[in-house]
């Protein structure tokens, strides 16, 4: 375990954490410092041990992508037994954090994150992760923004894949589609028409882009609905297949994912 014994006398911890000449094991200690600014500086230091950097990235800290060694580490990335998360999940959380505070990552780090988002977008077989990225983007841009409407339109299209939606639900989705296209705002009327949890969750997402659980709830209810009535031993396969269909639908409607500038 790293200790404080290698501290440089009279040197500020933040200065040490930012200095590429600081000893590797000292950086390991500083990456667990009680001060957040010291911890974040340490994980951006090219001398910090790779396992410390990896842990920070898997926790979803966008600062880890600002480390000059990050492109190399990601180039040779492979899952390890001790990982507490997946790279896909880490990138999603880093994206959410960075949309809230774009200053948490260097310009080079944002470029690197954009590459990871593009890779995820191209390879994803699940709408869950894709919608999470779009939602954090929409939330950052605000209620009624073009980005918010883009998210709602994706959810609306996903909801329309459910067979036998009641007429009231389809009418509610039509009102949302009109709002997304720039016509009259009739979201309240749409909510009063909704008769299923699926459409209700979509409309709640249209009302509040910051309610991150609503888009996920919509996807969950869609996948549950398409597997309802299927034999119990095939439901998970049916749900997974439809999830892939939703991912492809999202890619068709939004070929390029949200990107950081």
Domain ranges of the chain: 8-77+84-121, 124-253
Rounded Cα–Cα distance for residues 191 and 199 (Å): 8
Q: What is the pLDDT of residues 73-89, one digit of tens each?
A: 999 999 999 898 999 99
Please report which residue ranges of the chain form alpha helices under DSSP H: 13-18, 24-30, 36-43, 50-58, 70-75, 87-100, 107-123, 127-141, 146-159, 167-180, 187-193, 197-207, 213-227, 235-253
pLDDT beyond 80 at 53: yes
pLDDT beyond 50 at 3: no
Rounded Cα–Cα distance for residues 217 and 17 (Å): 41
pLDDT beyond 60 at 22: yes
pLDDT beyond 60 at 228: yes
Rounded Cα–Cα distance for residues 88 and 8 (Å): 38
pLDDT of the residue at 212: 82
Give the HSE-up count for residue 238: Cα atoms under 13 Å, Cβ half-sphere.
Answer: 15
Rounded Cα–Cα distance for residues 180 and 177 (Å): 5
Q: Across the chain, which distance is largest between two alpha carbons, in Å? A: 74
Q: Which positions ≥6 away from 133 have C-beta within 8 Å? A: 92, 95, 96, 117, 120, 121, 257, 258
Average pLDDT for residues 152-162, to the nearest whole number? 97
């Amino acid at each position: 375990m790293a200790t404080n014994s290698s501290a440089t006398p009279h040197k500020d911890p933040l200065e040490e954490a930012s200095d590429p000449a600081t000893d590797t094991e000292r950086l390991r200690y500083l990456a667990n410092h009680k001060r957040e600014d010291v911890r974040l500086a340490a994980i951006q230091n090219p001398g910090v041990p790779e396992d410390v950097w990896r842990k920070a990235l898997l926790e979803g800290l966008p600062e880890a992508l600002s480390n000059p060694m990050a492109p190399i580490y990601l180039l040779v990335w492979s899952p390890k037994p001790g990982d507490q998360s997946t790279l896909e999940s880490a990138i999603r959380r880093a994206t959410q954090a960075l949309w809230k505070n774009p200053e948490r990552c260097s310009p080079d780090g944002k470029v690197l994150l954009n590459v990871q988002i593009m890779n995820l977008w191209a390879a994803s077989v699940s709408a869950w992760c894709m919608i999470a990225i779009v939602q954090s983007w929409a939330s950052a841009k605000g209620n009624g923004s073009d980005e918010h409407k883009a998210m709602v339109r994706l959810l609306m299209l996903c909801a329309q894949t459910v067979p036998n939606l009641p007429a009231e639900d389809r009418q509610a989705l039509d009102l949302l589609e009109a709002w997304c296209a720039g016509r009259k705002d009739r979201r309240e009327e749409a909510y009063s028409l909704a008769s299923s949890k699926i459409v209700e969750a979509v409309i709640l997402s249209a009302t509040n882009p910051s309610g991150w659980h609503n888009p996920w709830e919509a996807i969950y209810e869609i996948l549950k609905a398409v597997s309802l009535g299927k034999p119990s031993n095939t439901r998970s396969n049916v749900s997974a297949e439809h999830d892939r269909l939703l991912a492809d639908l999202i890619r068709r409607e939004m070929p390029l994912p949200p990107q950081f500038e």
